[in-house]
Structure 1
Amino acid sequence: MPQAMLPIIDISALFDRAQRDHRERTAARIGEACRTQGFFYITGHRIAEELQRALQAASREFFALPQAEKMRIGMLRGGRAWRGYFPVGGELTSGKPDRKEGLYLGTPLPQGDPRVRAGWPLHGDNLWPERPRELRQAVLDYMAVAERAAHAVLEGVALSLGLDDDWFLRHYTADPTVLFRIFHYPPQAPDEVQWGVGEHTDYGLLTLLLQDAVPGLQVKTRQGWIAAPPIPGTLVCNIGDMLDRLTGGVYRSTPHRVLNASGRERYSFPLFFDPDFSAKVTPLPQHARIDATQVAADRADRWDGASVLAPFDGTYGDYLLGKVGKVFPQLLERVV
């Protein structure tokens, strides 16, 4: 596998609008990364190391529990909120079971929230295990600061596209769809090749990924597959299919996969930062025209033959359900 380093971008200036020149330089680096690799590392994200350690420790303790105890918060108990635990092989990528187990979480909403009362899929409260008790607060604290970092990165994306820095906030992310996952990849034999996650792209705008110290993430670049190993003090950021669609393919969502060949347990913590569930999906002003030639070229370039640029008329929620239902088909049957 070719070895290359994804860019490392300090986003600290994106938290301070007084640093105009520095913000523009940071945005230019983000734009370059989005046009080429679709992946980059970020520093200056303001997520405390102590909080990261607390989240990882509580997660390890949860996944070490007996299977029967973890299944007390199985995803089928989460109903339309689509939250809870799934066992190894319980999630599909391109129709094939992944070699990982995980915990699905998201923005917690009370039963009285109008969206919950209306039965909106992917909206509701989280399912929390009885132990470790520390997991709940660690997750909620982490999600809050990671969401703030995602807003900052999107300001850089907006500036890189020649838009006002609050363009995404005004049009898509004032009330974002925020989904958080904790994944555990069990060790496997050195000669065993079973993908923790098969080749795929993410669905939405941005993904911010916290990795533990164990490698496994691989990114497909123009030069071939490269490793994206953990780098202390960083998160991995990648753009998703929706940002690809909004920019008419100028910013590309990039295939990636996970193979835990380390012989050790691996944990990862992706936060998916996406548009408001009810937001109408429309391209950015300067990328409104997408012709059939672009769609055909995009389809030919993707492993699954499904163009992210294909015509679509609806809300982000409509789009997302069509995607997520392929990952957990048994849950989709319960919410349609």
Structure 2
Amino acid sequence: MTHPILPILDLEQFINGDEHSKAQFVDTLRIATHDVGFFYLKGFGLDDEATRQLFDSVRSFFALPAAEKQALHMVNSPHFRGYTSEGTEITRGEKDWREQIDIGAERSILPSDEIPWKRLQGPNQWPASLPALREHVQQLQTTLTTAGLALLRALALVLGQSEQHFTEAFSDAPVQHVKLIRYPGRSTNEPNQGVGAHKDSGCLTFVLQSDKAGLQVYHQEKWIDVAPIPGTVVINLGEVLELLTDGYLRATLHRVVSPAEQEDRLSIAFFLSPRLDTALPPLTLPPELAAKARGVEQDPQNVLVPHTGQNLLKGRLRSHPDVAQRHYADVLS
């Protein structure tokens, strides 16, 4: 069951509803994104069968021999694409106990022109033995991008802007980043950090969960379980939206705790951000909203910047020190 502070919104109400239905959706979205920054969404375009096939492909990937997964190791990629094993990614200085493969939009390499964040764009590393995985992930990217663009239109209305306010920044080549994740079980005498407490660095995050809980959000000084609900995806806001609205919208701390020993948990995260070259200016909020803006929660370990490429690169370098050392030694120096 959903926690009472996390509503379930239906995107179809905004896309296909009449003006009254759209207004109701926007009002509910305003409460959810201002108060907690997390909510459930249905009507996002992926039916139960497509979701099942997607998770079947994800399960098949993690069942591959270790050598086949390691051949796709992220350290091979200056674009931060590929596989990482348990304990390889770092959150707030501690090891995350999950294995995953990071996949972006399949695009050609950009000429770097001495600009480090341009290296983020480039090809993925795909397992040759699982062609269905590529098909299912690319379908997911397309589906959730469509849903995300609709949600951004609604968020623009939440913020008192024109419905198309964010359209240009997400046109042509938005950042479409997928993480396919497996959290192995851990014993009670081991650390339970599946992934440590953090905020996401982009604009919108979609999380598809399998059948086990583990995702938690920090609200009103306590951790709240965000249990999986069939037919929904979990949405949370990224740091960019907090920065643009002076904290009226909240990017909320969240974490994942490891499942019990002898179990595991699958999750799929999709991160939608503006084009890499985009620097979004702060919004001018209507006075009634500006009066409720709480200011940006500045973290000295994670200084927020409005430029998409710079902000994303900052997070990648911190989370993947092995990739940073191999491909970004010039930046680190």
Structure 1 vs Structure 2: percent identity of aligned residues?
31
Q: Which residue of 1 aligns with 2:311?
A: 319
Point out the more displaced range, 117-126 or 172-181. 117-126
Q: How far apart, CA to CA, are the structure 2 residues paired with 1:13 and 1:184?
A: 33
Is residue 5–residue 228 contact of structure 1 (8 Å, CA) maintained in 2? no
In the TM superposition, residue 11 of structure 1 has moved relative to its aligned partner by 1.2
TM-score norm. by structure 1 comes to 0.88
Q: Secondary structure at the match of 1:254?
A: coil
Residue 98 of structure 2, aligned match among 89, 97, 100? 100
- Cα root mean square deviation, aligned: 2.6
Q: Secondary structure at the match of 1:280?
A: coil
1:141-177 deviation digits (Å, cap 9, x = unpaired): 1111011111111111111111111111124455311
Q: How far apart, CA to CA, are the structure 1 residues paired with 2:301 and 2:89?
A: 20
Q: How far apart, CA to CA, are the structure 2 residues paired with 1:118 and 1:191?
A: 45
1:166-315 → structure 2 map (5 Å cutoff) = 166-263=164-261, 264-286=263-285, 298-299=297-298, 305-306=300-301, 312=305, 315=307
CA 323–307 in structure 1, closer or farther in 2 if over 3 Å, else same: closer
Q: Which residue of 1 aligns with 2:10?
A: 10
Is residue 110–residue 116 contact of structure 1 (8 Å, CA) maintained in 2? no
Q: Which residue of 2 aligns with 1:21?
A: 20
What letter matches 2:233 in structure 1? L
In the TM superposition, residue 117 of structure 1 has moved relative to its aligned partner by 12
Residue 150 of structure 1, aligned match among 139, 148, 151? 148
What letter matches 2:214 in structure 1? G
CA 55–20 in structure 1, closer or farther in 2 if over 3 Å, else same: same
CA 67–11 in structure 1, closer or farther in 2 if over 3 Å, else same: same
TM-score norm. by structure 2 comes to 0.88
Is residue 199–residue 257 contact of structure 1 (8 Å, CA) maintained in 2? yes
1:32-69 deviation digits (Å, cap 9, x = unpaired): 11111110000111112222111110111111112111
Q: Secondary structure at the match of 2:322?
A: helix
Q: Which residue of 2 aligns with 1:46?
A: 45
Q: How far apart, CA to CA, are the structure 2 residues paired with 1:51 and 1:114?
A: 36
Q: How far apart, CA to CA, are the structure 2 residues paired with 1:107 and 1:25?
A: 33
What letter matches 1:318 in structure 2? Q
Count of aligned residue pairs for this structure pair: 320
Q: How far apart, CA to CA, are the structure 2 residues paired with 1:161 and 1:7?
A: 19
Is residue 108–residue 121 contact of structure 2 (8 Å, CA) maintained in 1? no
Q: Which residue of 2 aligns with 1:109?
A: 107
Is residue 195–residue 256 contact of structure 2 (8 Å, CA) maintained in 1? yes
In the TM superposition, residue 261 of structure 1 has moved relative to its aligned partner by 3.0
CA 65–171 in structure 1, closer or farther in 2 if over 3 Å, else same: closer
Structure 2 unaligned segments of length 5 or more: list them.
none
